[in-house]
Amino acid sequence: MKTIIEPFRIKVVEPIRVTTVDERRVLLARASWNLFAIHSDDVMIDLLTDSGTSAMSAEQWAAVMRGDESYAGSPSFYRFESAVRELMPFRHVIPTHQGRAAEAILFSIVGGPGRIVPSNTHFDTTRGNIEATGAVALDLVIPEARNPDDPHPFKGNMDVARLEDLLRREGRAIPLVMLTVTNNAGGGQPVSLENIRAVAEVAHRHGKPLFIDGCRFAENAWFIKCREPGQSTRTVTEIVRDMFAVADGMTMSAKKDAFANIGGWLAMNDDVLAAAARNRLILTEGFPTYGGLAGRDLDAIAIGLHEIVDEQYLKYRVRTNEYIGERLTALGIPIVRPVGGHAVFVDARSFLPHVPPLQYPGQSLAVALYELGGIRACEIGTVMFGVGPDGTESSAEMDLVRLAMPRRVYTQSHADYVVEVFEEVARTRDRLRGLRIVWQPRQLRHFTARFEPVTGD
Ligand SMILES: Cc1ncc(COP(=O)(O)O)c(C=O)c1O
């Protein structure tokens, strides 16, 4: 058997409204060429994010009906807690409405001016929550991660020597060490078990806890099984347990590898920290047996955690992105390699060398994908990262377009369609022009900035 099939059948469908190029041109102008302003009904294939966009299973919907909405001590909480503990055996599991709420609670306790929190690469909400307390968020990913062509199998790894050096110099300022698995901001690249253990060993030797941002823990474990020597005969569940066995806590967005549309948690072993976190939770989220969630959400997460470690699912999941990556590479479209777990990242700066970075080649490509094929992707480049704290603009390190794949939502023919649209974009690439920003907010401009196409120059 050669074809890796979608390991599920479709029971409920959501129609896709098929639009024309002419219609989409009008919609783009109406949205000021910002894809966040397009209504999702007007998108044919939505690859904006893999967060909260999963298709829930029949079992999850059945679990939603079992959800118990008691304020305190709901059985939904205990089912959720035991599903988390089966994989990540932390003493305290504290539900939150999503991942950033777990981060906000954690760093409101351990952050603060003068503190430094190292990670492989902090995701932007993690960085934001650390910096909001006055602390510094530091990225210590291995140098290979910065080269889109480097085929290193674990480009999410932390540079352990730099971590050790930092702990030696600044140990007193560091409340904890973090690791993001997989490394979303670095292209969804995995962290090896060997690296997780080495980071834990160094952190513990310096008396610091290790917290894992586990949003895509199952995809990370699958990469460990496929790529790390000695791991191929072990189950994903065993590998997941090993990943978390050396950690002291975690933050999680259940909108990723728990197949849920909302939810998250903060977990830890430290009783004192947990008591402080629960106090904060009651102020900002809710009572500790529901956090910011409904009982039905907790039940959906509990089932999602059983389903996500299914190896047939993970094989199909990772293969879908690899398949798109291979076909784009065959078309000569530059991508970040190896392909990550949840997304394919296209190197728009290399693809459109005639569009200067300050005319946003990533945005130009993302707009072309929508115009020609109704595909919505996300610019991860100068629009997103090009404004410094003093308000000045410069080009980002890379101009990428992320094609993030929602879980269990699209099929092989959707993937083929995405490739065909790229084929058409590649044919017309010399004609693609950059954009200029005509209005932008002071922060997080990518969400609401208004653009217009650059003409004539
Ligand atoms: C690695 C990582 N950490 C944290 C978060 C934040 O999670 P949430 O969107 O649930 O707040 C995300 C979301 O995309 C993420 O990818």
Residue 457 confidence (pLDDT) above 60: no
Residue 1's pLDDT is 64
Three-state DSSP at 237 gives: helix
Decide whether any atom of ligand 1 lies within 6 Å of the 98 Cβ.
Answer: yes
> Which ligand 1 atom sits nearest the alpha carbon of residue 100?
11
Mean of pLDDT values over 85-100: 97
Decide whether any atom of ligand 1 lies within 6 Å of the 100 Cβ.
Answer: yes
Cis peptide bond N-terminal to 235, omega within 30: no
Residue 186's pLDDT is 78
Decide whether any atom of ligand 1 lies within 6 Å of the 123 Cβ.
Answer: yes
Residue 422 confidence (pLDDT) above 70: yes
Three-state DSSP at 322 gives: helix
Closest Cα to atom 8, ligand 1: which residue? 99
Q: How far apart are CA 144 and CA 150, in angstroms?
A: 6
Decide whether any atom of ligand 1 lies within 6 Å of the 126 Cβ.
Answer: yes
Burial of residue 283, with CB atoms counted within 10 A of its CB: 0-12 exposed, 13-18 middle, 19 or more buried? exposed
Side chain identity, residue 301:
I
Closest Cα to atom 16, ligand 1: which residue? 184
Residue 443's pLDDT is 78
Decide whether any atom of ligand 1 lies within 6 Å of the 253 Cβ.
Answer: yes
Decide whether any atom of ligand 1 lies within 6 Å of the 129 Cβ.
Answer: no
Q: How far apart are CA 151 and CA 242, in angstroms?
A: 25
Residue 388 confidence (pLDDT) above 90: no
Mean of pLDDT values over 282-293: 96
Taking the model in full, what pTM does it have? 0.95
Q: How far apart are CA 165 and CA 40, in angstroms?
A: 47
Q: How confident is the model at residue 360 (pLDDT cuts 50, 70, 90)?
A: very high
Mean of pLDDT values over 224-237: 98
Residue 378's pLDDT is 95
Count of beta carbons in the 10 Å neighbourhood of residue 448: 14
Q: Which of 127-131, 225-229, 288-292, 449-453 has the lowest mean pLDDT?
A: 127-131
Residue 309 confidence (pLDDT) above 90: yes
Residue 100 alpha carbon to ligand 1 centre in Å: 6
pLDDT by residue (tens digit) across 172-221?
A: 999 999 999 999 877 899 999 999 999 999 999 999 999 999 999 999 99
Residue 431 alpha carbon to ligand 1 centre in Å: 36
Decide whether any atom of ligand 1 lies within 6 Å of the 265 Cβ.
Answer: no
Helix (H) or strand (E) holding 277: helix 271-284
Q: How far apart are CA 385 and CA 236, in angstroms?
A: 35
Residue 253 alpha carbon to ligand 1 centre in Å: 6
Q: How far apart are CA 37 and CA 448, in angstroms?
A: 7
Residue 444's pLDDT is 82
pLDDT by residue (tens digit) across 321-340?
A: 999 999 999 999 999 999 99
Three-state DSSP at 22 gives: helix
Nearest to 397 by CA among 191, 185, 161, 188: 185
Residue 147's pLDDT is 87
**What average pLDDT is seen over the chain?**
96
Closest Cα to atom 9, ligand 1: which residue? 99
Residue 355 alpha carbon to ligand 1 centre in Å: 31
Q: How confident is the model at residue 59 (pLDDT cuts 50, 70, 90)?
A: very high
- Higher local confidence (pLDDT), 24 or 396: 24
Q: How far apart are CA 161 and CA 198, in angstroms?
A: 10
